[in-house]
Amino acid sequence: TQLLEQSPQFLSIQEGENLTVYCNSSSVFSSLQWYRQEPGEGPVLLVTVVTGGEVKKLKRLTFQFGDARKDSSLHITAAQPGDTGLYLCAGGTQGGSEKLVFGKGTKLTVNP
């Protein structure tokens, strides 16, 4: 069974601070996706990374896929209250059982 461990599980910070969320596994994934979910809504895709070592930037968010494609990180610079939400990573598997495996998420609260 392929598992994705996210850390930390909960994070509460002040507006303007930086933070990093981690997504780790012992398995190799063909791709890694990051989603943000707000209360009462479904997850919204932020980014997909597919190449080991790949770095993608989305405004104040920086996503990195590990060289071995087993882990990923999300770094937010100068967090804002609008960044509050549940951040989920999901690994794409292949080889006869293609599906997305999700981590349990990091619940981020950014206080004004």
Question: Structure tokens of 109?
Answer: 């609260």
Report the distance separating Cα 84 and Cα 99, nearest Å: 27
Stretch that binds other proteins, among 17-25, 49-57, 59-67, 88-96 (CB under 8 A): 88-96
Instruction: Please count the residues of this chain forming the interface with other proteins, following the rule CB under 8 A.
Output: 21
Q: Does 91 bind other proteins (CB under 8 A)?
A: no
Query: Min. distance of Cβ 40 from other proteins in angstroms?
Result: 7
Stretch that binds other proteins, among 15-23, 60-68, 77-85, 92-100 (CB under 8 A): 92-100
- Other Cβ atoms less than 10 A from the Cβ of 71: the count is 20
Binding other proteins by CB under 8 A: which of 10, 44, 77, 80? 44
CA angle centred on 96, ends 87 and 28, rounded to 5°? 45
Amino acid at 32: L
Q: Does 101 bind other proteins (CB under 8 A)?
A: yes
Q: Does 102 bind other proteins (CB under 8 A)?
A: yes
Amino acid at 51: T
- Other Cβ atoms less than 10 A from the Cβ of 10: the count is 10
The residue ranges that bind other proteins (CB under 8 A) are: 35, 40-45, 48, 88, 90, 92, 94, 97-105
